[in-house]
Amino acid sequence: MRNRNHWVYAMLALVGGVLGGAVSSHLFPPEGVASAASRAARTLKAERFVLVDHDGAQRGAIQVTSRGFAEVALQDNSGRIRTELRVGGNGDAAVGFFDANGAKRVMLGGTPTGRNGLALYGVNGRQLAGFTVAEDNQSSVTLYDPNNGRARVGLGVAANGEPALVLFDQNGRDRAELHVTVKGNPGLALADASGKTIAGLPVEETQQTQQ
């Protein structure tokens, strides 16, 4: 395996030299003798390419997995994958960064449905924060409980431009909402554990009552 890794490394180095113009001209036939076969040799086709260091240890790979993901994975000196770029057959695309234990720490990606986002994770592998933008231009920021992974704070702007702030309890239930309508009217609502509204300040209704 070690010899094979050195062979792969040598081939990659050769390809890099060809593409970069660094390989000496005596390795190629004269311009007038170049054939279609030699021109085709500039393209390499394979299911997997392996990147190794000077000792032959694998540090990365370019491959198509058995699940149909085209990916580029880069590893540290211990062989752990720390960065990964992948595209699925359905168009899902993501870039991920991992810690020394293999846990996700940062994920950036997009889906065929048009929802794109950034997710940040804690040392326990739970998502702590997320930022997303949908196809209809809705955007949101969500903060999660580090102990149970449930959403605790949500801040978003709807497609019509209406902003809102939502606070959740430890069970993920909506307990407080603050928003401003597209007409500029602010509102506040408080709910109990069952989701029933127990207090609110609908400014628009209050103004109409006073009139």
Sequence-ordered list of residues with C-beta below 8 angstroms from that of 84, at least 6 positions apart, any chain: 71, 72, 73, 74, 94, 95, 96, 98
In the block, tokens 């190794």 appear at 52
pLDDT of res. 53 = 94
d(CA 42, CA 137): 43
Residue range 44-52: average pLDDT? 91
Q: Is the pLDDT of residue 11 over 60?
A: no
What is the pLDDT confidence band of residue 40, given thresholds at 50, 70 and 90?
low
Say what the pTM is: 0.70
Measured CA to CA, the distance from residue 23 to residue 66 in angstroms comes to 35
Mean pLDDT of the chain: 81
Q: What is the pLDDT of residue 114?
A: 85
Spell out the alpha helix ranges (H) of the chain.
Answer: 2-20, 36-40, 203-210
Tens-digit pLDDT profile for residues 77-130 = 999 999 999 999 899 999 999 999 989 999 999 988 888 999 999 988 899 999
Residue 38, pLDDT > 50, answer yes
Nearest CA to 109 among 101, 121, 97, 118?
118
Decide if pLDDT at 62 tops 90: yes
pLDDT digits (tens, 9 = 90+) for 129-165: 999 999 999 999 999 999 999 999 999 999 999 999 9
The band of 36, judged by pLDDT with boundaries at 50, 70 and 90, is low
Confidence label for 35 from pLDDT (cuts 50, 70 and 90) = low
The pLDDT of residue 201: 86
